[in-house]
Amino acid sequence: MRALIQRVLEAKVVVEGQTTGEIQHGLLVFLGLGKSDTLEQGQKLIDKILKYRIFDDEQGKMGWNLSQPQGGLLLVSQFTLMAQTQKGLRPDFGPAMPPAVAKALYEQLVEYACQQFTHVQTGIFAADMKV
């Protein structure tokens, strides 16, 4: 499982001209799921992301987590994060979880994130998204 985490002032996901998820300030998280990943691993990752102290506090130091500036969390599935690129000139997506299994796990992780945090938005699994 890999997560690419980006602090943002604003972010949105657009699919076929329609906005499917949007936050003002907070974290944009691209999530790649591997073949051996489990729900428990994903829940631990979500918990960690929500607790990361990567926002400036009153002293200008990274002392606040996502809830302290009342930010949003935008979760986007991104299987390309699982690509192996050590050999050749084409990425190998073999380590990525098969789509049907990945969709079910991704949806469970989104549900878990929504239980843990109030401001969660998402993209659409396997859609052609503009982020």
Active site residues: 78-80
| Residues 6+ positions from 117 with CB-CB distance below 8 Å | 50, 66, 67, 73
Given a contact cutoff of 8 angstroms between Cβ atoms, the answer to whether 73 and 50 are in contact is yes
Token duo for residue 58: 């009153």
Give the H or E element holding residue 102.
helix 99-116
Token duo for residue 64: 């606040």
Given a contact cutoff of 8 angstroms between Cβ atoms, the answer to whether 55 and 62 are in contact is yes
